[in-house]
Structures are given as structure tokens and as C-alpha cells.
Amino acid sequence: MAENSDFVKTAIPKFDGYYEHWAMLMENLLRSKEYWSLIEVGVTVAPANPTVEQQCVANASKLTDMKVKNFLFQSIDRLILETILHRETVKDIWDAMKMKYQGSNKVRRAQLQALRREFEILAMGENEPVNDYFARTLTIANKMTSFGERIEQVTVVEKVLRSMPSKFNYVVCSIEQSNDVTSLSIDELQSNLLVQEQRILGQQVNHEEQALKASNGGRGSGRGRGRNTGRGRGRQSKELVECYKCHKLGHYQNECPTWGENANYAEFNDEEEMLLMAKTNCEEMKEEIWFLDSGCSNHMIGNKDWMYEFDETYRDSVKLGDDSKMQVMGKGNVKLSINGRVHVISSVYYIPGLKTNLLSIGQIQQKNVTIVFNEDTCKAYHDEKGLLFSTHMSANRMYVIKALVVTPRCLQAAKKDVSQLWHNRYGHLSIKGLNTLTNKDMVKGLPALKDLSEKCADCLTGKQHREKIPKQAKWRATLKLVHSDICGPINPTSNGGNSMIAGMNVPKVFWPEAVKWATHVMNRSPTLSVKDITPEEA
């Protein structure tokens, strides 16, 4: 039987409301049938006095336009078709659909701007499959392309690498270091990430299976003394026993061969369940133990002596898991020595009565630190310093760090004499004048002062007077007496200004400023010219 092309029907894409997707499929269909020129140029119109050839070309163009119009009519629903039936050519129909669903140039620019923002803030969810995230990313990229934005393949690749969650950090670093990102295709990147995703899912399944085996191989469910049903171990095989020290199968905790190997490992035997370290009842507090807490908004300690640059005025409250609140009575910094390296922990809350030391995982991650949880191990990596610490899960499923607190020491202390302090503040006014201000309530806040323990060196320097030039000179030989002009620039006398400059060790170019403030202080100091008031009040 001879082949008939009528039996092969072209699948026409149906318009489902997503214009960008429909337009892409329809354009591909029309290009494959060499009809796309009608969309770009339109129908060929015969001139006023056409030749036979020109008329044939115009008729053929109209016939082709009717075929393409038939394709569009079959792909568009009736409700939408009613709005474009009055269009004469297929180009008019296409432009009408484009204007209806993409708008004018101004509207398209606004929509493109929104798509750019959506593309920039796009990030993969923690539990989102890799295929779903790639689908979301490419959907936005295709929409931007339909609005005229040129999206290079490397742009999509770099965006995906930047927005992957922390569990893909290792494979992302490996891809960036071992491959040229500019030549890496989207499909190749997706396949690499899918392999890592399958590996992560496999580890989770294996971990759950081991936990299930350990729970089923533990104590029996019965109360009798039969085989493998009683409370005792009896003939129970150790192959299914999980060690609470190393979390491996085959031995008990007291038989664990890893005792004493990990210096940064702490073991706790508390049977009480803990919820995000919301509240615990530790009877003994160990200064070197710090708990990593993902539910804690800030670092918290209960020992104020460990802190430096402490702000006692800071106040806040912290809500615990049992809805109770604890008052924050200050904030400061703490230095911790972990494996011989000193780290500064900033913005630490001081909560009196807190029995445990809490390190907020969220606050650590804000310092460009990546926290990686792998099975029963927690590691922290810094972009420049590398591995900061590594710790294992304890028996009660907590992550703890053994760290030494570097307490600040004061190697030298200096005490300022109060009388000397107020003497300097008042432009080196005498102690008698200061006490006059206090006794007669001429000022507020000035304490009663004692005599200075020693003479003020700045006053001795600032209140020196110039010796008089002698009118007669003793000379006995020629040229022993030199005649000179003894008159020069005359500065107004200001003992207070001179003393202030000497006390503050500032250059003499600031002498006018010192005189200004010395005058300001003198006008608010007692004087014999007026009684019981200052010159400012007179």
C-alpha cells in the first residue's frame, strides 16, 4: 500500500494559559513547516497592477496564511478565540496574543524586572529534589528569554552552584575546582548533583536501618526468661548491638575501643530528654563544655568573669522551651581556645543562673562559617581559616565542644585622683575655689574635694611669668653689650589656657581654642569681684 501523508497528523500544541511555553512550541512547529516568515513579515500583497507571477505569489501567500491560521485556531480555546476572530492575518493574531499575555514594551520591562528579582533570590530548599529545583530555575530563565533577556548557560550554572544548600557544599567545591564553570553544561551539572543527592539519600536510609536494627536487637518485648525475649542479654548476639560511644555495631559502650582517642569528645549519661537545650538540670557545671544549639538565637553563658568588652547596660529576655523567661543582664565577647587556636565569640548574652554554655549555630554561620553535619559528626569550616573544630555526637544525641576559656587579665591598674580630676576639668582652678562652688551650691554634682596630694605640674608650667628685662647691664669689654629690639608680639595672658595646653600635651597652635574654653570656665568659677555668684550669673 502506498504511503499517504494524510495519515500522519501534526500534533498542534494547545494553549493552556502559559503563553511563553505555548509560543515556544508553536514557533518550533511553524519553523519546521517553513511558515515562520508569515509571523515575521506577514502576507505578501500584490501591487496595484500585478503581473501574473506577482499575483500567483500573492495567492500562494494567502493560502499559506489560511493554513497557519487554521493551526492557531485549533490550538486556542473558544473563549480566547472569540477575542481574535476579527484579525485578518496570522501575523495580526500572533501579535494580538503577544500583546494580550505579554503586554506593551513598558509592561514587558516591568515583568522582566520582576523575573530578574525572582531569579536572583532563587534558592534550593533543604528537602527539595534536585530535578524540581532545576525545573524551577529553567522555567524562570525561559520566561526571561521570552521577554528578550539573553540568558547564557554559564549564568544558570553559576546561579545553581551559588544557591545550593549546605549539604551540597563538598560537591559544589569539587565542581568549581575541578571543572571550568564556563564550559560546564546545565545537563552535566544536574547529573553531578543527582549523584550526590542519591548518595545523601542512601546514607540516610542506611542510618535509619542501623538504628532500627539496634532498637530491635536490644531489650526484648516480653517479660519471660526465654531465648531473646527477656530483659537480660543472655545469648543475644552482639552483631546487632549499637555502641553509644562510637555508634557502631558489634560491641557495648564499656567495650568500645575508641575510649580516650578523641580529645575533643565529651560523654554525658543524663537520661533526661532535652529539647533544643531549652532547659536542662545539670548538677555540675564544667567550664570547658559548650553545647552547639540550633534552637538558640544567641550565644549564652552564665559566668560574667569570662567576658571582656562587657556592656552592662544591655537588657533583653530569652524564652525557654517551657515558656519561662530568663533576663539578659549584659552582652560581651568571650575568647575560647579550641585545639590550641584562640577564637573570639562575639555578642554573647550574659544570663545569671544559666548552668550551661550555649553556642548558637545560626550566629556562628553568620560569621562565614559553614556547619556540616555528617552522620554523628559536626564540623565547622571557615572560608579562610579552614577547619575550626570537629566534634562527635554524645550518647544523649548532643553535640558538645571542649574549649578552654581565655579569661582577661588586668596587668596594670591606675587610679585617678578625684581632686586632680576636677582641678583639670575646671581649667586648673584652685581646690579652694572648687570647694566654694560646692559649699555655696553654685553648681550641682561637684563633690567635696581634698587638697591635692602633690603640686600640679601643669599649673607650675602654665603659670610661669617672664622675668623683667634689666635696665642696666654689666659689661667690661667692647662688644660685650649687644643692643637689640626687646619688643615683639604680645600675647594676652591666660594662665588657664597655658595650663590646659600643658596638661593635654597639644600643640601651641591650639592656644586660641584653649583660651576660649579657659574663659568659659572662669566665667563659671567664683571670684572676689562678685559674692556667692559666678560672673556668668552677675
Residue 107 has pLDDT above 50, yes or no: yes
pLDDT at 332: 92
Q: What whole-number distance in Å separates Cα of residue 85 and Cα of residue 416? A: 95
The answer to whether residues 191 and 179 touch, using CB atoms and an 8 Å cutoff, is no
Residue spans of alpha helices (H) in 147-292: 153-162, 169-178, 186-216
Question: Which residues, listed in sequence order, are joined to residue 400 by a DSSP beta bridge?
Answer: 291
The answer to whether residues 506 and 517 touch, using CB atoms and an 8 Å cutoff, is no
Average pLDDT, stretch 247-274? Answer: 53
Average pLDDT, stretch 33-60? Answer: 85
Residue 258 has pLDDT above 60, yes or no: yes
Q: pLDDT: is 293 or 4 the higher one?
A: 293
Task: Quote the percentage of the chain above a pLDDT of 90.
Answer: 3
Report the candidate in 460, 300, 288 with the shortest Cα–Cα distance to residue 391. 288
Burial zone of 380 (CB within 10 Å; 0-12 exposed, 13-18 middle, 19+ buried): buried
Q: What whole-number distance in Å separates Cα of residue 220 and Cα of residue 432? A: 91
**pLDDT tier, 317 (very low <50, low <70, confident <90, very high otherwise):** confident
pLDDT at 7: 43
Ranked by mean pLDDT, the top range of 273-282, 288-297, 452-461 is 288-297
**pLDDT tier, 415 (very low <50, low <70, confident <90, very high otherwise):** low
The answer to whether residues 361 and 351 touch, using CB atoms and an 8 Å cutoff, is no
Q: How far is CA 307 from CA 277, 357, 403, in A?
A: 22, 13, 15
Residue spans of alpha helices (H) in 36-150: 36-40, 52-75, 78-81, 90-102, 105-120, 130-146
**pLDDT tier, 331 (very low <50, low <70, confident <90, very high otherwise):** very high
pLDDT at 3: 44
**pLDDT tier, 333 (very low <50, low <70, confident <90, very high otherwise):** very high
- 8-40: burial string, b at 16+ Cβ within 10 Å, e else: eeeeebebeeebbbbbebbeebbeeeebbebbe
Residue 59 has pLDDT above 60, yes or no: yes
Render pLDDT for 474-510 as a digit per residue (tens, 0 to 9).
Answer: 666 666 666 555 554 445 555 566 676 666 666 766 7
Q: How far is CA 249 from CA 200, 235, 279, in A?
A: 21, 17, 32
Ranked by mean pLDDT, the top range of 294-298, 333-337, 434-438 is 333-337
pLDDT at 219: 42
Residue 279 has pLDDT above 60, yes or no: no
What is the β-pairing status of strands 341-350 and 299-301?
parallel
Ranked by mean pLDDT, the top range of 75-79, 247-251, 330-334 is 330-334
CATH topology of domain 289-406: Cathepsin D, subunit A; domain 1 (2.40.70)
pTM listed for this prediction: 0.31
- Specify the amino acid at residue 402: K
Helix, strand, coil % over all residues of the chain, rounded to 5: 40, 15, 45
Render pLDDT for 112-138 as a digit per residue (tens, 0 to 9).
Answer: 888 888 888 888 888 889 999 999 999
Residue 111 has pLDDT above 90, yes or no: no
What is the β-pairing status of strands 331-338 and 404-406?
antiparallel
Average pLDDT, stretch 278-288? Answer: 42
* Cα 327 versus chain centre, distance: 26
Q: What is the mean pLDDT of the chain?
A: 75
Q: pLDDT: is 230 or 15 the higher one?
A: 15
Q: pLDDT: is 365 or 516 the higher one?
A: 365
Q: pLDDT: is 79 or 346 the higher one?
A: 346
The three cell numbers of residue 403 are 574549649
pLDDT at 412: 58
Render pLDDT for 81-98 as a digit per residue (tens, 0 to 9).
Answer: 777 778 888 888 888 888
**pLDDT tier, 262 (very low <50, low <70, confident <90, very high otherwise):** very low
Q: pLDDT: is 159 or 231 the higher one?
A: 159
Q: What whole-number distance in Å separates Cα of residue 126 and Cα of residue 166? A: 8
Average pLDDT, stretch 379-407? Answer: 83
Question: Which residues, listed in sequence order, are joined to residue 338 by a DSSP beta bridge?
Answer: 341
Residue 229 has pLDDT above 50, yes or no: no
